[in-house]
Structure 1
């Protein structure tokens, strides 16, 4: 039964990539999906590393001088909150969910959920394992970021990069992108995934 479900999902993914043509016969399509998966994975993993170690991109950089305090006080490993700054000062003042997100600022459990998800989704996407699950998780995070800071973007009526990324994540999930430039083919054949197809 599990094999039939997997075969059906693969067929549907192939149809979404190019109707009537399996992606295995289109190396350029496979390359595009594989590269997109790696890029989105690195985006999430880097967010984790930057918050963990204060590497100076979004964390640890002095906004006035541009100086970077590597591994400094802003790093999560030194006790700083990876979410408090954004939830306290990075929210759009006209957001309908402003008070809700501000109430989460400084909560340790929010920090842990955020960091574990950034690391887990990033690593899974880079390796090409649990791609469907991690891509869905990535899309959900894009929805969270959108409702926190960009429901009414300044340069568009409603569309911003979070929406675009969310659509890319949906594409990665349905295309079975872990099979391209990743370990997806091996992963889906493991006993764990055969028993729990949701882990694909």
Structure 2
């Protein structure tokens, strides 16, 4: 008579972390990091839209006819970037590039703040950070790694660890759309 093999610990779903445990505390910190990153994206959107005077002066605000992408991409073209032709192409599509960039900042920011749609937000945010990393060549402080790489990897880790479920609406979002559209979790 054959007996069933014991289940592997890697196949069993992880139990939720208790709020008072070290693991629960760590996941709460991930929730805080998620919120901070969400605010970071949302602030960039608002500053570029209204020209709040931090990174974007009022006269270069998007609502005043400025381009949210022209300064950064223009600098990458003039600065000896090996991908200058690629950035020149996107600058030639400036209105489309601006809309995609601003929609990305807004969508990623809201998703991270609320803890919903973490998979799409993480992939989109990591892709945006990856493109910004490539636009920043040549690197000035480290020839390989900069904050764009670290933040992109962090965003993917936040989604993989379910950070939207801590200090966010991730659990409710998962219950609402998880079965119908798991890619939206």
What is the TM-score normalised by the length of structure 2? Answer: 0.85
Q: Separation in 2 of the partners of 1:172 and 1:27?
A: 14
Partner of 2:129: 142
Say if 2:152 is the partner of 1:155: no
Among candidates 46, 61, 74, match of residue 75 of structure 1: 61
Cα offset, 1:10, TM superposition? 9.8
Aligned-residue CA RMSD (Å): 2.2
Say if 2:184 is the partner of 1:199: yes
Cα offset, 1:135, TM superposition? 1.1
82-91 or 46-55: which moved more?
A: 82-91
Partner of 1:164: 150
Cα offset, 1:102, TM superposition? 2.5
Partner of 1:189: 175
Show the 5 A alignment for 1:1-200: 11=13, 14=14, 22-24=16-18, 25=21, 26-60=23-57, 72-90=58-76, 93-105=79-91, 107-150=94-137, 152-190=138-176, 192-200=177-185
Indicate how the Cα distance of structure 1 residues 9 and 76 shifts in structure 2: closer, same or farther if over 3 A, else same: farther
Cα offset, 1:157, TM superposition? 2.7
Q: Separation in 2 of the partners of 1:111 and 1:9?
A: 44
What is the TM-score normalised by the length of structure 1? Answer: 0.79
Unaligned runs of 5+ in 2: 1-9
Helix, strand or coil at the partner of 1:41: helix
Q: Separation in 2 of the partners of 1:10 and 1:141?
A: 34
128-137 or 102-111: which moved more?
A: 102-111
Cα offset, 1:196, TM superposition? 0.5
Unaligned runs of 5+ in 1: 1-7, 15-20, 61-71
Count of paired positions: 172
Cα offset, 1:86, TM superposition? 1.4
